[in-house]
Structure 1
Amino acid sequence: MAFRTGCDAIWCRAFSLSLEGEALDWFDSLPDGSIENFKGLSNMFKNQFAACRAQEATIVDLMNLKQGKEEPLKAFMDRFQRTVRRVKGLSTELALQHVMPGLHPRPFKDSICRNPPRSMEELRQRTVDEIRVEDMKQRYRKELQEAKAEKQESRRDNQGSRPGGGKAREGPRNPRFPQYTQLNAPRAQILQESLSAQVMQVPQQRPTP
């Protein structure tokens, strides 16, 4: 874009429209009223990014970029994008070739392998969609764990509120007396004589519930 104007406000506005990525993030973070004129903005920009020139990355840095086992996809892709911007003269095709090897084996890596992105914008959009899916799965797992914990807690409360629910099961009973007189007749005969003498009553049969 080429134009002629002596208005610093227009120059500052045009300058901000030419920024992207890390430079645009820096511009958006400037406090209100900190820009007095275009010359001051230029000096602020040079001071901010002058040190970055000595920190340019190489293609080797991009090749060594690997996603950690527990590293979220968003964190890795942010590191990938920053490294890509630091590699001088890196083409989009070469940058896209190093995305898949750096990803940890997960469904998103399989998707990239089956259908490689054709542009950085397509990669960005697919990354955003995958991050959204990961967030939904994480929330779903958290809800399941909370529901399971509530169910177990409710079950413990119900068991504690039942009569005898917290008591241990009684073991076999011990004999009441240390020894008993041995019988000198069969048990059936003794029982029959007790019933005839009305010493014992015949138990009545209860109706089946």
Structure 2
Amino acid sequence: MMLTEGSDVVYCKLLMSTLADAVLEWFVSLLDRHITTFDQFATLFREQYLVNKAPTRLSYDVFDVKQYQGEAMKDYLNRFGVHAVRLKPTDEAMTVHAFVKGMLPGPFSESLLRFYLKTFTEIRRRTLAHITAND
């Protein structure tokens, strides 16, 4: 559309041909002659659909990852790792702290606090060693 030279009417008609399902229904439901410019339409469109955009995930969202009651330590470690990779936290100490805070309380989580681990790699190594020793 940006390559096409034309008026706002042309832009709106071209855009309408790209819409489908609920978005097309919304477009058709707009009052006739209510929109006078493409910019006005673009603003209405953003207002209508911006709320559907997924919220930006932040690095401290790793604190939302908690070990479930009855969840194996290895499963929690893997699930936490997946979230950490997606969120790309830049502060390793925060990642370590979030992992330990998300663990169910017990002797192993307390032992991790005593070791003052600095990276998630150290957490993973120590956790896997603990899992192997207790299997």
Q: 1:121 to 1:99 in 2, by over 3 A?
A: same
SS at match of 2:77: helix
Aligned to 1:93: 93
**Counterpart-to-counterpart distance in 2, 1:122 and 1:129:** 11
Give ranges in structure 2 of 5+ residues lacking alignment. Answer: 1-53
Paired with 1:79 and 1:56, the residues of 2 have a C-alpha distance of 20
CA contact (8 A) 1:56 1:86 kept: no
Residue segments in structure 1 that go unaligned for 5+ positions in a row: 1-53, 136-209
- Is 2:114 aligned against 1:114? yes
Match of 1:105 in 2: 105
1:73 aligned residue: 73
Bigger radius of gyration? 1
Partner Cα separation in structure 2 for residue 58 and residue 121 of structure 1: 21
- State the structure with bigger RCO (CA 8 A, min sep 6), 1 or 2: 2
- Kindly indicate whether the alpha-carbon contact (under 8 Å) linking 1:117 and 1:123 is maintained by their aligned counterparts in 2: yes
Matched position secondary structure for 1:98: helix
Cα 1:89–1:119 shift into 2, 3 Å: closer
Q: Is the 8 A contact 1:56 1:87 kept in 2?
A: no
> Could you tell me how far 1:110 is from its partner in structure 2?
1.0
How far 1:64 moved relative to its partner?
1.4
Identity over aligned residues, as a percent? Answer: 27
What's the offset of the Cα at 1:98? Answer: 0.8
Counterpart of 1:113 in structure 2: which amino acid? L
Residue in 2 aligned with 1:134?
A: 134
Give the TM-score of the pair, scaled to structure 1.
0.36
In structure 2, give the amino acid aligned to 1:90.
T
User: Is the contact between residue 63 and residue 98 of structure 1 (CA under 8 Å) also seen in structure 2?
Assistant: yes
CA contact (8 A) 1:84 1:90 kept: no
1:90-115 per-position Cα deviation (integer Å, ceiling 9, x unaligned): 32122112111100012210111212
**Number of positions where the alignment pairs a residue of Structure 1 with one of Structure 2:** 82
